Amino acid sequence: MLASRAMKHPVQVVIFGASGDLSARKLIPALCENALRRAFAAPVQVVGVSRSPLTSEAWREQLYEWLDERQRSVWHELAPNIHYVAADASDATSIEALEATLVELAGPWAAVAGRLYYLALKPTLFAPTIEALSAAGMLQCDPLRDEAWRRVVVEKPFGRDLATAQWLNIVLGKHLREDQIYRIDHYLGKETVQNILAFRFQNAIWEPLWNRQHIETVQINVCESVTVGDRGGYYDTSGALRDMVQNHIMQLLALVAMEAPTSMDAEAVRSEKVKVLRALVPLGAAEDVWQSVVRGQYVGDGAHENSSQNGYLDEAGVPSDSRTETFIAVRAQIHNWRWNGVPFLLRTGKAMRSRYSEIVIRFRAPPADIFGGPQQADVCRLRPNELVIRIQPDEGMRIRFLVKQPGPGAVMRQTSLGFDYSDTFSERSPDAYERLLLDAIEGNATLFIRGDEAEASWRFCDAISAGFVAPDAPSPSPYSVGSTGPHEADALFQGCEGTWSHDDD
């Protein structure tokens, strides 16, 4: 087994959905990177489980193809500890046989080895797999012992609305304690996202400004340039609200808007996040929703030969009369002392002009313009102070402000101070899954979502969905592939300065 730092007992990482995309593209490379960094504090054994009749050797060969040169350099150490078991995760008999194999593989450590079960399965298999594991006695562990622990990582999506998320929480809660459940949102594993908390709470200068007195708007953009491609069948059952807003965007909003936790302990951080999510003003009547939300659907030029130019309705697996949104923009409000009255403008879409995720905090303009006169127009055309937190690509942060241009008069120019990860740090940033897998193995749930957080987020998003089921609800607004989304979304800025940030701003 692979070993390193100071954790005491060996660990078995059991990946359900071993032959799938996530396992090959993200999970195994993440394990390799951790092995390269000698990050594991204990010997780690990996056991892949799916129904395909593969041998361990054949699975390893498949995985090897997905590794880059760096990761391949550690493969000779990892490979002997990577095993495959063909089993149906929802079938009790298969699972009992898996238990026997895990015990055999752990050998003399069987009684003390910790186990991380990673559900890289389609969501309908989450509950049956937990039930099968529980029936086989594979989830039981003593919370007071730090050996032989059992934890479960649950992939996204966690439910498809509030009711299904509540039901899944109940099923999980029947078989596991909350501290055994790791609901993943890989955005929380990104360095830039973790840095939001460091930036806010490790620097005293921001806190006095971080409120409704000084901030005019907060916008969160998660824009993708890809179309739904060959995932049309799946995507049509989800849409941008469920696929991006309920999880990634709500998590970003919570990190930006939460109060300071008392520590970085999982309960302290998550309790503050859930307070913010619960303070989101629910959108009520359908008309309220239509005022505060703009949905869009990309349209192509009909040139089917180049599928990237297909409109959404032309994509394989998408019904020709689908009303599923591929773009959504929401004007949200948080009803608490810190944020009351500050619009939180949230936007995500597929097939947009460029791929970038960023948060823009726009501060209020100075209360009086003492530089008036003929240059007034210039001042007004320029934006007031903004803090831009760039999550991807070109990770970093930038503060925009005005300076006087050299020369006579008082002509203002906008400039910025910036921090770029690539300039500041020579070491590579770990991939999100690398960090999250390690945290789950080490029992640190700070960057995972608690059950009540998932429910609070669904509660807000369900009200949006409800507003669009009425037969007279507006259809998604068309926008061209490669554009910045439907122009109707600009109206969400009504009453405040500014507009959506663009990648080339």
Catalytic positions are 248
Closest Cα partner for 485 from 498, 473, 476, 472?
A: 476
Token reading at 144: 């007071």
Closest Cα partner for 215 from 400, 364, 401?
A: 364
At residue 140, the 3 state secondary structure works out as: coil
Rounded to whole angstroms, how far apart are CA atoms 120 and 14?
A: 10
Contact in structure between 48 and 152 (CB atoms under 8 Å): no
Please report, as ranges, the residues that interact with ligand NAP according to CB under 6 A. Answer: 16-23, 49-52, 88-90, 120-123, 125, 155-156
From residue 146, give the alpha-carbon distance in Å to each of 11, 115, 142, 267: 12, 12, 8, 19
Closest Cα partner for 501 from 196, 222, 200?
A: 222
Give me the least distance between CB of 485 and ligand NAP, in Å please: 23
Single-letter amino acid code for the residue at 333: Q
Closest Cα partner for 457 from 158, 212, 224?
A: 158
Contact in structure between 496 and 216 (CB atoms under 8 Å): yes
Give me the least distance between CB of 285 and ligand NAP, in Å please: 33
From residue 149, give the alpha-carbon distance in Å to each of 16, 143, 223, 295: 18, 8, 39, 45
Give me the least distance between CB of 69 and ligand NAP, in Å please: 22
- b/e per residue, 223-249, with b = 16+ CB within 10 A? bbbebbeebbeebbebbbbbbbbbbbb
Rounded to whole angstroms, how far apart are CA atoms 421 and 416?
A: 16
DSSP 8-state class, residue 10? -
Which one, 44 or 89, has the nearer CB to ligand NAP? 89
How many CB atoms are located within 10 Å of the residue 209 CB?
A: 14
